[in-house]
Structure formats: structure tokens, C-alpha cells
A = this chain, B = another copy of it.
Amino acid sequence: MTESIESLRQEIDKVNLQLLELLNQRASLASRIGTLQTQSGMQLYDPQREAEMLTALQSSNKGPFSNDTIKVLFKEIFKASMALEEREARAKIIVQRKTPEQNTVVGFPDGTKIGDGSFQIIAGSCAIESFDQMDAVGEVLASEGVKIMRGMAFKPRSSPYDFQGMGEEGLKIARQVANKYGMLVVSEIMDASQIPMMSDYIDIFWVGARNMQNSFLLKALGSVRQPVILKRHFSATLKELIYSAEYIASGGNTNIILMERGIRTFNEEVRNTLDIGAVPLLKMETHLPVIVDISHSAGRRDLAIPFGRLAKASGADGLMVEVHPNPPVAMSDAKQQLYFDQFRALIAELRNVNKPDKAY
């Protein structure tokens, strides 16, 4: 019986190749029609013509595929034909991995790199609250060798009545503190209109989970000079995250860092469920650096050390963690920001963890 399956499979292999040839033959014809249409100023997409072809096919269809299935298959063929020219031009998805060796390395003028095999720590308070708070944090970060500081001046909040961030005033503080301690600043952008103003203060744009599929913002970030950290929405598939990165890349900016941050599930003990498997999977699929947000995935500071270890062991290119001089009185995310001594313990603990050469 297995033999019989084998022989049927060989017949299918032959049919596959015949289909392949016909499909390409059809593509050539369609492509020539497309050229003629473009020359004469006609629209490429012609629903009338498609409808007629489908009607003809269905009246000739003797099965076993149903007419509905035939419709779906040819619709797919039509779509592929129509998209051929631009697809050929584009060749492939830009952020998609092409070879095992291909790795985007995001570099900065001070020599800091993400994606070069190192394990970068991005840290700082959830929100900028005052100069004193930022200065205290900056001092600790610098003493631990951190190169990239959170400087969040616009906070996306569920309620319009929650603290919305200090705005530009906050960015000035962040820049001042970063300069004092020789660090880079990453800050969340909420709307494309903020790009020019924010560019005066910050080194890295951060796209939050809620904006992961804000295609207007993503397209606008395709033409900035700064790298972009793109945070996965808590219910986005990896495919959706990769396509969101492609919105930025297709605009010309390929300095994109993907961030896994936990997904929304039925789990009760944590704010989100750390989807650590996303790290090897994203590394298989794309050549972009991947980092792990160990604060929002857990939502509780007592998980920072175990999650930090896991982030490094996963092969990620770094982690993001929230630190605050006095977490219980923080304006936001009070339960997950680390005390200074916890942050120092985390950094110490990370030295005991080996980062694998490859995430997968």
C-alpha cells in the first residue's frame, strides 16, 4: 500500500511540473498584456475580465474540484499575475532572512551595536517624571555600563485620564541626562507628526505595541535616519510583526530592532505570557536583531531575573528592563519597575548566562 502511495506521488510530481510550466506561460502572457495596458493608460486590474474568465472556467469544470475551489485557485493565479511586475521588482520581502549568515547590525556613532553578537541592555524608568528621577536612574545605568536609556515622554494609556507623559519637556530632561552620562536615548513615538520635534532629542524611535499596525506611522519611520525598535503587539502573530517591520523597511530604513514582549493569554499570574519561542522563530525568519522586554512580559519585578536569564539564553540580542528610584510611587507600571539593587543583581546574574552563537 505504501508503494501505491509512492507511485501516485510520482504521478503528482509530474503534474506539478506541468502546472508549473503552464503557470509561467500564463504569467508571460499576462505580463505582455500588462505592458500593453500600461502603455495605453489602462488600469491593470479589470474585474470584468476576471469575472468572465471565471464563468468560462466554471462551465468547463468537471471536478473533482468544486466550482468554488476552482474560483479560489484562479483568483490566486490572477492575483499573482497582476502583482508580477512589482513583485519581480521587489524581488523579496526586505526583512526576510536570505542566508544563515545575514544579520542586520544596528550601529551608533558612539560604537554601540545591536545585532553584532553582543547582548545589549536597554533600561530606564517607565516614564520620565522629573530631572532628579532621570538623573538618579542615569547614574545607576552608567555605573553598570548600560549604553541605551529609556526616555519615554509620551505614554500610551488605556484611559485618557491617566498620566500621559511629560511631552517635549520630558525629552529635554532625557537628553540632558543621557548627555551627562554618555548614553543614547530611545523614546516612544505616537504619531508621525512628532518625528521632526523628537528627532532633536532622541537616538532611537520606539514604536509601541498599540501602534505596531499603524501603517501611517510605520511608513513615516521608513524615511528617518534613526533606528526603530518595533514592539510586538500583545496579540500579533509573528507574521504580522514581520510585515509591520517591512512597512518601515520598504521606506528605506532597515535599522529595525524587533521586540518580543509577551502575549495576552488566559494566564493569571503574569500581565502577559512571555513568548520566548518568538526569539528563535524571528531569527529564523528575519535578519533583524531581536530583543526581549522582560518588564511588560512579566508585569512583576520578581520575575526580572529569571526572564533576564531566559532572554540571554534564547539567543536574543538584548533585553529591555524598567528601573525606577522608588517603584511603588512611580507614575505608571509601579509593579514591574526594578529597584536599583534588583537591577544591579540582574546585571550580575546575566554574567552567568551564556549567549548561544545562534538563536536557533
Give A residues with C-beta under 8 Å from B. Answer: 1-2, 4-5, 8-9, 11-13, 15-20, 22-33, 36-41, 43, 45, 47-51, 53-54, 56-57, 60-66, 68-78, 80, 83-84, 86-88, 90-92, 129-130, 133, 156-164, 190-193, 210-211, 213-217, 219, 233-235, 237-240, 243-244, 246-247, 250, 263-270, 273-277, 279-281, 284, 297-298, 302-303, 305-307, 309-310, 312-315, 326, 328-329, 331, 334-335, 349, 352-354, 356, 359-360
With CB as the reference atom, state the residue of chain B lying closest to A215: B156
Verify A273–B281 contact, CB threshold 8 A.
Answer: no
**Partner pick for A334 among B43, B83, B269, CB 8 A cutoff:** B43
Do A61 and B24 form a contact, CB below 8 Å, given A80-B73, A162-B41, A239-B158?
yes
27 A-B pairs with CB atoms under 8 Å apart are: A8-B32, A16-B53, A16-B56, A17-B57, A19-B22, A19-B23, A20-B70, A23-B73, A24-B63, A24-B65, A31-B64, A38-B161, A48-B335, A51-B329, A87-B161, A158-B240, A160-B250, A161-B246, A190-B215, A235-B266, A237-B267, A237-B269, A238-B269, A270-B281, A277-B306, A310-B313, A310-B314
CB of A151 to closest CB in B, whole Å:
17
Do A216 and B238 form a contact, CB below 8 Å, given A87-B68, A246-B160, A354-B352?
no
With CB as the reference atom, state the residue of chain B lying closest to A67: B92
- Complex Cα distance A162/B239, Å? 14
Using Cβ atoms and an 8 Å threshold, which residues of chain B touch A326?
Answer: 47, 50-51
Given contacts A17-B60, A23-B65, A191-B217, 12 further A-B contacts (CB under 8 A): A1-B36, A8-B36, A12-B26, A31-B64, A69-B84, A71-B328, A237-B266, A280-B303, A303-B360, A309-B313, A310-B313, A352-B354
Using Cβ atoms and an 8 Å threshold, which residues of chain B touch A133?
Answer: 47
Verify B247–A268 contact, CB threshold 8 A.
Answer: no
Do A238 and B211 form a contact, CB below 8 Å, given A19-B22, A64-B24?
no
The 8 nearest A-B residue pairs measured at CB: A313-B313, A235-B235, A210-B213, A191-B216, A280-B306, A50-B329, A71-B328, A76-B76
Using Cβ atoms and an 8 Å threshold, which residues of chain B touch A273?
Answer: 263, 265, 273, 275, 277
**Dominant SS at the A interface?**
helix
With CB as the reference atom, state the residue of chain B lying closest to A214: B214
